[in-house]
């Protein structure tokens, strides 16, 4: 399922969300793309989050909990993450406020990195990507906008099918898939890299726990949903 848009219009310009997207794109294009394979591997080992370095007391690994959120493993990795952030992040920022949103995003990203690291603390494989922090944003969206709909592309053979799915259903399906894949991946974690499912799980759980603490009270006179039809 590919999310295309949602049914909510943001009240304000999502400046921080756009800055986060710009920072991720700039880091990839300016810092990663120009490097050769050997230099890129060394760069990612330095600035990606390596669990064995984190638990081994390397102080640089603490900084890597933040820098790793702005590095990606390729164009598809970058674009898929930024597209999800573009769709869901503006509304969460609108509800939290720009400063709170930035803090919320970074804390969820740190929680995501720690969750993946605790699952495999001896791993020497660096973690990179914004998806753990974005998982926290998805969780925030789930709780703040439960009546929203997500316009989704579902390919059936060669034919595209466009459908509006309630945000609650879409995001719970996404989280359930991460949880199932995370459990399935437990036995193979020592063998190599791959998708950091437990980072997604950790970021999502952090978002569920924290979003109400960061959210501002909505204005009573404002209708949050552009599409006033309820999903149920």
Q: Name the pTM for this structure.
A: 0.89
The mean pLDDT value for 202-210 works out to 97
Q: Would you kindly state where each structural domain of the chain is located, as residue ranges?
A: 2-8+14-187+196-214
Has residue 160 got a pLDDT over 60? Answer: yes
Q: Which CATH superfamily is domain 2-8+14-187+196-214 in?
A: Rhomboid-like (1.20.1540.10)
Has residue 219 got a pLDDT over 60? Answer: no
The mean pLDDT value for 116-128 works out to 94
| pLDDT confidence tier of residue 113, bands split at 50, 70 and 90 | very high
| pLDDT confidence tier of residue 193, bands split at 50, 70 and 90 | low
C-alpha to C-alpha distances, 188 to 6, 9, 49, 72, nearest whole angstrom:
36, 42, 19, 22
| pLDDT confidence tier of residue 46, bands split at 50, 70 and 90 | very high
The mean pLDDT value for 202-229 works out to 72
Q: What's the pLDDT score for residue 106?
A: 98
Q: What's the pLDDT score for residue 13?
A: 95
Question: What does the DSSP assignment read for 135-192?
Answer: HHHHHHHHHH-TT-EEEEEEEETTEEEEEEEEHHHHHHHHHHHHHHHHHHHGGGGGG-
């Amino acid at each position: 399922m590919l999310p295309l848009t949602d049914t909510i219009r943001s009240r304000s310009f999502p400046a921080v969300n756009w800055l986060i997207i710009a920072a991720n794109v700039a880091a990839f294009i300016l810092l990663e793309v120009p490097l050769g394979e050997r230099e890129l591997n060394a760069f990612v080992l330095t600035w990606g989050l390596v669990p064995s370095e984190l638990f081994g007391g390397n102080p640089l690994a603490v900084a890597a909990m933040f820098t790793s959120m702005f590095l990606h493993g390729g164009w598809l990795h970058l674009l898929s993450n930024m597209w999800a952030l573009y769709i869901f992040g503006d509304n969460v920022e609108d509800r939290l406020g720009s400063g709170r949103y930035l803090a919320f995003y970074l804390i969820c990203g740190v929680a995501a990195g720690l969750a993946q690291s605790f699952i495999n603390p001896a791993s020497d494989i660096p973690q990179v990507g914004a998806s753990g922090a974005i998982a926290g944003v998805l969780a925030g969206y789930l709780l703040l906008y439960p009546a929203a709909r997500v316009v989704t592309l579902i390919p059936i053979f060669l034919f595209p099918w466009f459908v509006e799915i309630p945000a609650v259903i879409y995001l719970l399906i996404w989280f359930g898939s991460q949880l199932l894949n995370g459990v399935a991946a437990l036995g193979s974690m020592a063998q190599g890299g791959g998708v950091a499912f437990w980072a997604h799980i950790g970021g999502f759980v952090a978002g569920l726990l924290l979003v109400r603490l960061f959210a501002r009270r909505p204005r009573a006179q404002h209708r949050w949903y552009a599409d006033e039809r309820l999903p149920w």
